[in-house]
Amino acid sequence: MKKSILFVDDEIRLLRALSLSFRKKGYDIILAANGQEARRKIQENEVDLVFLDLNLPDANGLELLGEFSTLYPQKVFVIMTAYGEVESAVSAMKAGAFDYIVKPAKLDEIELIINKAFNWINMKQENLHLKEQLKQLEVTNGFISTSLKMKRIYELIERVSSTDATILLHGESGTGKSLIARMIHNLSGRSQGPFIAVNCAAIPEQLLESELFGYEKGAFTGAAASRAGKFEAAGNGTIFLDEIGEVPLSLQAKLLQAVQDKSFIRLGSNQVKQVDVRIISATNRNLKQMVQEGSFREDLYYRLNIVDMHIPPLRERKDDIPLLVEEFLEKHRSKMKKNFRVSSQLLTILAGYEWPGNVRELQNAVERAAVLCNGDDLSIQDFPHEIQGYSPTNLLPSGKFSFDNSKTLPEQLEDIERQIILNAIEEHHGQIASAARELGISRQRLFYKMNKYLEQ
């Protein structure tokens, strides 16, 4: 479907020139010479973008803008004003105009604003689409994914949640194993019971036994009173043993008893205690290899691994990145009272990055970008430096430049320069000053380059 622009101006020659120029560029152009005609045309036609002159023979441009922006809030309005009426244009911006242009304006200046406006429209539509997708996914207990691999994981979660089967989650750090463990608990018949998470790597080896199984008064120096451990605390619920591969070999026999018989003995006691608990464990290590090396008990491994789930890294499910970005941004929108938006080009850059820290790294990167964002539109400059390295303006990772042997070296270098400049302008949504800063050149130099390449 063609992009549609309505030009409203009483200068007939200008309307004809605009119509001739932009129809050639593939736009659907609609013209109106006065306010009454503009009202009829905007009602009868599917218009995306409206260029509205402030001085019309039968209408006040500001009043017409107020009327249109109320009736057609999804449309984008650009004010055209004569030199010396910039104050009125500023008032129009406050009244809801997207931008303004001072007449007489060159066609390439108008084209820049058109590109900027449609970039914004596309970004707004993409964000609305992502929000709709998120609403649909909310019914699946917070599971946010469109990738086939993760859908299979969710199907497995649904099947095992209603059982008490012991589950082993394995995958790289930051893939969301703890989130999945909690999801299994919430979907199970134990959801009203406690969910107790234990990070086995964060507890010193000499304290881990007492943390898991508790201790009796006087069991060791400083044990002034008896204390229940995490297994007892998780009674009638779920215990989640994260980083299970870090449990020392000396403690694994006692852990095997707890997993196998749901029984244990407190430190300093001889009394066997029974506990009704569901056990979910997780690791980013290769437990099978550890078994072969003798650093992890084989019987414990098989007891923990009744149902195993491999959580794929983010680089293997990049289709989920736009949804995850939107989910993280939604939290910051409400917290920071800002309407954050992200362009399709920026999402492409984020999808090109390998995300060694997986979902956790993406979440942290989006939070950083939200904090540093100047305005509502996120920029690649708001993200960490290692992610900025995947910008399309960086020749090496983009892989988009191919050399043509029929062209001279200067001609090929011009092609590359043109692409870099267009990418920078698109990334900054037509903001010339911002694009120039990123490129490391002056605004005047960038305007010169733009005029040169737009004529090609």
Q: Which CATH class is domain 317-454?
A: mainly alpha
Per the model's pLDDT, the better-predicted residue between 71 and 286 turns out to be 286
pLDDT at 399: 40
Q: What is the mean pLDDT of residues 233-242?
A: 96
Q: What is the average pLDDT value for the chain, to the nearest integer?
A: 83
Q: How confident is the model at residue 394 (pLDDT cuts 50, 70, 90)?
A: very low
pLDDT score of 2 more than 80 = no
Domain coordinates of the chain in residue numbers?
4-105, 148-311, 317-454
Q: What is the CATH number of domain 4-105?
A: 3.40.50.2300
Q: How confident is the model at residue 421 (pLDDT cuts 50, 70, 90)?
A: confident
Spatial separation of the C-alpha atoms in residues 321 and 295, rounded to whole Å: 36
pLDDT score of 396 more than 50 = no
Secondary structure, 3-state, the chain: CCCEEEEECCCHHHHHHHHHHHHHCCCEEEEECCHHHHHHHHHHCCCCEEEEECEECCEEHHHHHHHHHHHCCCCEEEEEEECCCHHHHHHHHHCCCCEEEEECCCHHHHHHHHHHHHHHHHHHHHHHHHHHHHHHHHHHCCCCCCCHHHHHHHHHHHHHHCCCCCEEEECCCCCCHHHHHHHHHHHCCCCCCCEEEEECCCCCHHHHHHHHHCECCCCCCCCCCCECCHHHHCCCEEEEEECHHHCCHHHHHHHHHHHHHCEEECECCCCEEECCEEEEEEECCCHHHHHHHCCCCHHHHHHHCCEEEECCCHHHCHHHHHHHHHHHHHHHHHHHCCCCECCHHHHHHHHHCCCCCHHHHHHHHHHHHHHHCCCCECCHHHCCHHHHCCCCCCHHHHCCCCCCCCCCHHHHHHHHHHHHHHHHHHHCCCCHHHHHHHHCCCHHHHHHHHHHHHCC
Q: Has this prediction a pTM greater than 0.75?
A: no
Closest to 165 (Cα-Cα) out of 304, 55, 283, 67 = 304
Q: Which two tokens stand for residue 257?
A: 């008893």
> In this prediction, what percent of the chain has a pLDDT beyond 70?
84
Q: How confident is the model at residue 256 (pLDDT cuts 50, 70, 90)?
A: very high
Asked if 4-105 and 317-454 have one fold, the answer is no
pLDDT score of 270 more than 70 = yes
Instruction: Give the tens place of pLDDT for each residue, 74-117.
Output: 888 988 887 556 566 667 777 778 888 888 788 888 888 888 88
Q: Which residues of 117-138 are buried (b: 16+ CB within 10 A; e: fewer)?
A: bbbbbebeebbeebeebeeebe
Q: How confident is the model at residue 132 (pLDDT cuts 50, 70, 90)?
A: low
Q: How confident is the model at residue 210 (pLDDT cuts 50, 70, 90)?
A: very high
Q: How confident is the model at residue 393 (pLDDT cuts 50, 70, 90)?
A: very low
Closest to 170 (Cα-Cα) out of 112, 241, 107 = 241
pLDDT at 434: 74
Q: How confident is the model at residue 311 (pLDDT cuts 50, 70, 90)?
A: very high
> In this prediction, what percent of the chain has a pLDDT beyond 90?
36
Task: Give the phi and the psi of residue 28 in degrees, each rounded to 5.
Answer: -90, 115
Q: What is the mean pLDDT of residues 198-210?
A: 92
Q: What is 148-311's CATH number, 3.40.640.10, 3.40.50.300, 3.30.1330.10, 3.30.1330.40?
A: 3.40.50.300
pLDDT score of 131 more than 50 = yes
Instruction: Give the tens place of pLDDT for each residue, 146-185.
Output: 677 888 888 888 889 889 999 999 999 999 899 899 989 9
C-alpha dist (Å) from residue 212 to 251, 255, 373:
10, 9, 44
Q: Around Cβ 294, how many Cβ atoms within 10 Å?
A: 9
Between 3-7, 268-272, 273-277, 387-391, the lowest mean confidence (pLDDT) is in 387-391
Spatial separation of the C-alpha atoms in residues 422 and 449, rounded to whole Å: 10
Q: Which two tokens stand for residue 433?
A: 């000053």
Q: What is the mean pLDDT of residues 357-385?
A: 91
Instruction: Give the tens place of pLDDT for each residue, 32-50.
Output: 999 899 999 998 888 889 9
pLDDT at 404: 54
Please say whether the beta carbons of 288 and 301 come within 8 A: yes
pLDDT score of 447 more than 60 = yes
First to last CA, the chain: 26
